[in-house]
């Protein structure tokens, strides 16, 4: 089964990205044909500086490779290295009803968050549809917040096939069920826009400092505490063994434990969890040519598929040579 997903190079990736989606992406490699891209076209909707988008793209590439992306099996590339996707975006735009885009909540949400309302942001779902359809993807793993965009993609694909013949593969959604909502240091869902993240590969001293600042309630040390409502315990669930987690739960409910103890242990476990990945990440930082080569090779493989799909679409709509 062909699986496709993309991630925007919008800043440092954090543990919420990893436990929320990246880990599942990497697990899907074992039994599927995976196509994963760095969505730099999409990132432009937020008007990043040229220097930032270039560096963030390399950072995302290094992060994925360090965390276990199979560079031989998985097709991994920079979105903008396959210009065919932008032509397909235009062709799909010409059959996409305005009402379909106007109903998309993501645009309204991002404008409400302060992003400038530009056409790229509004037409984002059509570019996303082109990303998916040009590679004839069977399965698209997304978070629940992206479910509507997959529905839009399916609508566009069905509309195209009804007009021009069955050319495009209508993808199935695969809603990623994260282990839990990963809380940020302030208790809200971890998000770069909230500034409450813990970076996967940020300096260890910084990780410790952030974890010690995680918001907890004011329950005195001697009193029992509810682990189900504790941000620290929610993060312990991600990195502690089953036996250790059970011990911590017992200590929470028994009382006599301060949150600082749990925070110190969480920092140790979090740093240890990513230790081997961090070593690989350092190696990649010292071999940027290798990283660029992985992206170039992936783009060549992706472009071969994209060019074939686009040729079929052009023929179908009447753009014959």
What is the DSSP secondary-structure string of 221-233? TTS---GGG-HHH
Question: From CA 172, how far away is CA 133, in angstroms rounded?
Answer: 11
Contact 131, 168 (CB under 8 A): no
189 is catalytic: yes
Q: What is the dihedral of CA 30, 34, 40, 41, to 10 degrees?
A: -160
Contacts of 154 by beta carbon, 8 Å cutoff, 6+ apart: 170, 171
Do residues 136 and 168 lie in contact, with contact meaning Cβ atoms separated by under 8 Å?
yes
β-pairing verdict for 75-78 and 33-38: parallel
Query: Which residues is 36 bridged to in the sheet?
Result: 5, 76
- Check: CB of residue 36 under 8 Å from CB of residue 5: yes
CA distances from 253 to 247, 265, 294 (A): 10, 17, 49
Residue 110 annotated in active site: yes
Backbone φ and ψ for 214, nearest 5 degrees, come out as: -60, 135
Active-site position among 147, 189, 209, 275? 189
Tokens 């560079």 belong to residue: 71
Please give the Cα distance from 184 to 196 (Å, whole number).
5
CA-CA distance, 122 to 100, in Å (whole number)?
A: 11
Catalytic residues, which ones? 110, 189, 192
């Amino acid at each position: 089964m062909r699986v496709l997903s993309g991630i925007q190079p919008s800043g440092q990736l954090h543990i919420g990205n990893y436990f929320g989606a990246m880990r599942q992406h990497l697990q899907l490699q074992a039994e599927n044909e995976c196509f994963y891209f760095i969505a730099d076209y999409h990132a432009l909707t937020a008007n990043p500086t040229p220097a930032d988008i270039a560096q963030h793209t390399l950072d995302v590439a290094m992060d994925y490779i360090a965390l276990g992306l199979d560079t031989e099996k998985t097709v991994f590339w920079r979105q903008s290295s396959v210009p065919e996707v932008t032509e397909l975006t235009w062709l799909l735009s010409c059959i996409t009803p305005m009402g379909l885009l106007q109903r998309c909540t993501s645009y309204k949400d991002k404008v409400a968050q302060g992003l400038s309302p530009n056409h790229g942001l509004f037409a984002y779902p059509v570019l996303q549809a082109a990303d998916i359809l040009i590679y004839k993807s069977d399965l698209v793993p997304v978070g629940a917040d992206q479910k509507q965009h997959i529905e839009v993609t399916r609508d566009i694909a069905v509309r195209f096939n009804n007009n021009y013949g069955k050319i495009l593969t209508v993808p199935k959604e695969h809603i990623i069920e994260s282990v839990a909502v990963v809380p940020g240091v302030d208790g809200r869902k971890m998000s770069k826009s909230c500034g409450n993240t813990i970076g996967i590969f940020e300096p260890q001293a910084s990780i410790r400092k952030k974890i010690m600042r995680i918001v907890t309630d004011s329950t005195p040390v001697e009193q029992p505490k509810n682990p189900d409502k504790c941000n620290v315990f929610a993060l312990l669930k991600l990195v502690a063994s089953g036996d250790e987690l059970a011990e911590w739960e017992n200590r929470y409910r028994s009382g006599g434990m301060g949150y600082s103890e749990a925070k110190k242990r969480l920092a140790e476990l979090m740093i240890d969890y990513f230790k081997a990945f961090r070593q690989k990440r350092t190696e990649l930082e010292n071999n940027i040519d290798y990283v660029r080569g992985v992206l170039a090779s992936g783009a060549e493989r992706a472009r071969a598929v994209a060019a074939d799909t686009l040729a079929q679409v052009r023929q179908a709509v009447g753009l014959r040579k």
